[in-house]
Amino acid sequence: MPPLDVVAPDPPARRAKARGYNRHVPTLRELAAVCNVSPATVSRVLNGSERVRPETRERILAMMRELDYVPTRAARTLSTKESGLIAVILATAAHPELEHPFFQGLLEQFRHRICEAGYDPILLTGEALGAGDQYYVRRLRMHNVDGVLFLSVRGEDVEIDELRKTGIPIVAFDPEGIGPFAARIQSDNVAAGASVAEHLVAIGRQRIATITGLPETAPSRLRLEGFARALAAAGRELPPEYVVPGDFYATSGMAGTEQLLTLPEPPDAIFAMSDLMAIATIQTLQRRGLRVPEDVAVVGFDDIRFARLVTPPLTTVRQDVDTLGRLAAETLVAMIRDRDLEPPTLTVPTTLVVRESTGGSTLEEDARSVLDLL
C-alpha cells in the first residue's frame, strides 16, 4: 500500500535524518552573517591575520566554537593551491616498504612531525595498478599535494622525470637515480659498513663475508664500499665469492647463507645488510648445525625491534629512525615554505650495537636491553 501523503520529503535529507546526522555544518559566509561581519573578516581570523580588532576576533572565534565550524580544505586548496597533503610514495608490491620494520619507525616519526606542521600524509604507491589514472604522479597532481616523501627510490622509476616536472618539493630516503632537485636523507652507510668490518676484525674473525641488499641500491653499494675499504685497511681480503647479492628481505638471507656454506672455505663471519636477512641467516646456520656466534658470527643492519628478540640476540647497525624521520619532515616542510631553498643532502650517523650474535654482550646486559622495548 502506498503511503497516503503523496509529497515525499527529499530522499537524501530524509535518510540523513533517519541516521541522525542531519546536523548542518555552517559555511564561512553563514558564520560571517551570524557574527555581522563580512566573509573576508572571518577568513582573516582563520588565517591569523593581524588586521582584525581583538574583540571582533574573539566574537568570531567564540561563534566558530559554538557552531562547531570547520573550514573546508577543498575550497582553500582551490584558491591557494595548497592542499595540506604530503604524499608518501611506497615502492612496488614486490618490495613492500610498509612491511619492512625499519620504514615503519621512520614513517611514524615523519607523520607525527608533518602533522604538527599542519600536513597530513597520503599513501601512494609507485606500482602502476593497471589504468593510467592510478599512476602516482597523476594522483598526486590531482590532490595538489604540497610535498613528496620517497621511500627508497629505485633507478628504474620512469616516472621520476614526470614528478620532477611538477616542481613539487621532494625528499628522498636512500635515493638512487634521483636528481639534485630532490633533498636526500640517508644514514652514513659508508661509515656503518666500515664499523662492521672493524668489529669483525677486532673479534678475530678470519673469513669475513657479506650478503648485500639489492645491488643496484645506494645503501647496498655504500655499505659495501665502507665494508670493503675497512677490511682492506686491516689487511684483509674480501674475495668476490664472499660477496653474495640479496634484496634486504628474509628469503634472500637464507639463499645467500646456503650459497656461502657451499664454498670450500665457508666464512666464520657474515654481515647481512638488513636485520631481516641476518635473522634468516642465523636460522639457516642453526638448521645446518652451526653455532652462532661460536662457528659463525652474524651482523645485521637496522636494529629493528626483533633484533634483540632472536636467539642469539643480533649484533647490528642501528639506524637512527627518529632523527631520519624528523629530518625528512623538517626538510620537506622547509622546502614547501621556501621554494627557493636548495635541496640539501643530509647524512645521519649510525651506531654499532654489539649483542651476542658476535659474542659481544652478556646475558644480563641483553635482558636489560629487552626491557627497553615498548
Partner DNA sequence: GCCGGGCATGAAACCGGTTACACGAATGTT
Partner DNA sequence: AACATTCGTGTAACCGGTTTCATGCCCGGC
Site for a second copy in 104-143 (CB under 8 A): 104-105, 107-108, 111-112, 115-116, 118, 120-125, 129-130, 133-134, 138-139, 141-143
Q: For DNA, which is the closer residue by CB, 39 or 343?
A: 39
Minimum gap (Å) between residue 70 Cβ and a second copy? 5
Is residue 278 within the footprint of a second copy (CB under 8 A)?
Answer: no
**C-alpha cell of 256?**
645467500
Rounded CA separation 139/156 (Å)? 20
**Interface residue with DNA, options 22, 47, 251, 351 (CB under 7 A):** 47
Distance CA 300, CA 298 (A): 7
Q: Considering the complex, state which of residue 200 and residue 282 has its C-beta at the smaller distance from a second copy.
A: 282
Q: From the CB of 165, what's the least distance to a second copy, in Å?
A: 6
337 binds DNA (CB under 7 A): no
109 vs 151: CA distance, rounded Å: 14
3-state secondary structure 275-316: HHHHHHHHHHHHHCCCCCCCCCEEEEEECCHHHHCCCCCCEE
Name every residue whose Cβ is closer than 8 Å to that of residue 288 and which is 6 or more positions away in sequence: 261
Return the beta strands (E) in 45-204 as ranges: 85-90, 120-125, 147-151, 170-173, 183-187
Does 138 help bind DNA (rule: CB under 7 A)? no
Task: Specify the stretch interacting with DNA by CB under 7 A; choose among 77-85, 151-159, 278-286, 355-363.
Answer: 77-85
Residue 15's binding partner, choosing from DNA, a second copy, none, with beta-carbon cut-off 5 to 8 A by kind?
a second copy
By CB under 7 A, name the one of 61, 63, 76, 96 that touches DNA: 76
Q: Pick the piece of the chain touching a second copy (CB under 8 A) from 80-88, 192-200, 223-231, 265-273.
A: 80-88
Q: Does 345 bind DNA (CB under 7 A)?
A: no
Q: Segment contacting DNA (CB under 7 A): 15-23, 50-58, 152-160, 247-255? A: 50-58
Answer with the entry of DNA, a second copy, none that 116 interacts with (C-beta below 5 to 8 A by kind).
a second copy
The single-letter code of the amino acid at 312 is P
Alpha-carbon separation of residue 277 from 205, 230, 335, 342 (angstroms):
20, 22, 36, 37
Site for a second copy in 293-312 (CB under 8 A): 305-306, 309-311
Report the nearest approach of DNA to the CB of residue 66 (Å). Answer: 15
CA 351 to chain centre: 19
Could you give the strand order of the β-sheet that contains 208-211, starting from the edge strand earlier in sequence? Answer: 243-244, 208-211, 269-272, 297-302, 315-318, 351-353
Q: How far is the CB of 342 from a second copy (least distance, A)?
A: 11
CA distance 324 to 189: 13
| Residue 72 touches DNA, criterion: CB under 7 A | yes
Residue 210 host element (H or E): strand 208-211
Q: Which does 134 bind (CB under 5 to 8 A by kind): a second copy, DNA, none?
A: a second copy
Interface residues toward DNA, by CB under 7 A: 27-29, 36-41, 43-44, 46-47, 50-53, 56-57, 71-72, 75-76, 78-80
